[in-house]
Amino acid sequence: GVVHVNTYGGADITVPLGGFKQSGFGRDKSLHAIEKYTDLKTAWINLG
């Protein structure tokens, strides 16, 4: 959820949002979402 203190609707649209625990949503619109949408890969490149 969202908590507003002495304000209403003044949040930037780029603020990370999402659920916790087993809500199934996670953190979208932030760097935290990278872990959700990507997989770590290793690449070996011989430059010589």
Give the DSSP per-residue string, 13-42. TTS-B---TTSS---BSSTTHHHHH-----
* One pLDDT digit (tens) per residue for the chain, 48 residues: 566 677 776 667 666 666 666 655 566 666 767 777 777 777 888 887
The model carries a pTM of: 0.28
Query: How many other CB atoms are there within 10 angstroms of residue 12's CB atom?
Result: 5
Nearest Cα to 28, choosing from 43, 13, 8? 13
Q: Are 28 and 17 in contact (CB under 8 A)?
A: yes
